[in-house]
Amino acid sequence: MKLCIYIFLFAVIFRPAFPFLDYVVNYHYIATELCENKNAPELHCNGKCHLKKELAKSYKNDTPASNEKKSETAETVVLFIVKIPVFSFEKNSASTFIVNAFYNNLYSHLEAVNIFRPPIFI
């Protein structure tokens, strides 16, 4: 099972290299038979035109078709209306606060003056 997975991963990873491998293995046949410029040997093409065509075909097959579908976007407008309930906050007469008229401020800060002093620099 592992061998099948390894072979599959090898094929997926090195798939772009297969046209190069085919060009190297069948170099003589491609240069003499499949080359588009075999009638013009001064160009020194030697089948590179066929390799270029195969690479373009491989690249075209590798690009997902979703790129073409991305241009066909459909925009829809969603419109909805929400009724917001209106609340009225009326003063509740049952709870009334009694203000203490006899408030005594018992806070004293005079004792802190004798304890804390700023540092004296000579």
- What residue segments make up the domains of the chain, in order of their start? 2-66
With bands split at pLDDT 50, 70 and 90, how would you rate the model's confidence at 97? Answer: low
With bands split at pLDDT 50, 70 and 90, how would you rate the model's confidence at 58? Answer: confident
Q: Tell me, yes or no, if the pTM score tops 0.85.
A: no
Q: Is 50 exposed, middle or buried (0-12, 13-18, 19+ CB in 10 A)?
A: buried
Give residue 6's pLDDT. Answer: 92
Which residues have a Cβ under 8 Å from the Cβ of 62 and sit 6 or more positions away? Answer: 15, 16
